[in-house]
Amino acid sequence: MSLIPHNRLYLALFAFFALIALQSGLIVNCFGVLNSHLLIGFAAALAGVYGCLKGKLPRSSWPALDCVFWLLFGPLLGLMAWMYVLTSWVHHRPQANAKSLMY
C-alpha cells in the first residue's frame, strides 16, 4: 500500500542532494554553477516522467497515483534546481565598478 515500496527513491534522493552539495562547493566542482544545476534539474525531471511512462519506477497498489506522484516529483526537482540557479547567478554575477566603466 506504500507509495514508495522500494529503496530506489531514497537512493535517487541521496544522489540528488549529494550532487547539490558537490556543486555547492562542499567538494570541488568542475562543471560550474549553471551547468551542473541545469543537468541535475533536467535529469531529475526527465527521469521522473520517463520512468512513469515506461513503468520503470517502483509501483504501489495505485499505479495512477504513482504516475501523478512522479510527474509532479520530477519537474519539482527541476524547478528547485532552476530556483537555485537563479539565486546563485544573482548573488555571484560580476559587479561592474565605476573605474572599469570609465576606461
Q: Is this structure's pTM higher than 0.85? A: no
> Residue 21 is part of which domain span?
8-92
Whether 39 and 76 have beta carbons less than 8 Å apart is answered as no
Residue 72 lies in a domain: yes
Residue 24 lies in a domain: yes
Tens place of pLDDT per residue across the chain (103 aa): 444 445 566 566 666 666 665 555 444 444 444 455 555 655 665 665 566 556 655 555 666 666 666 666 666 666 666 666 666 655 555 555 555 555 4
* Burial 10-44, CB ≥16 within 10 A → b, else e: eebeeebeebbebbeeeeeeeeebeebbbebbbbb
Residue 82: which of 49, 42, 50 has the closest Cα?
Answer: 42
Residue-level pLDDT at 14: 61
Residue 47 lies in a domain: yes
Residue 98 lies in a domain: no
Residue-level pLDDT at 39: 59
Whether 23 and 92 have beta carbons less than 8 Å apart is answered as no
Residue-level pLDDT at 13: 64
- Identity of the amino acid at 58: P
Residue 103 lies in a domain: no
Query: What total of structural domains would you count in the chain?
Result: 1
Residue 97 lies in a domain: no
Residue 16 lies in a domain: yes
Residue-level pLDDT at 5: 47
Residue 2 lies in a domain: no
Give the count of beta carbons closer than 10 Å to the beta carbon of residue 69: 18
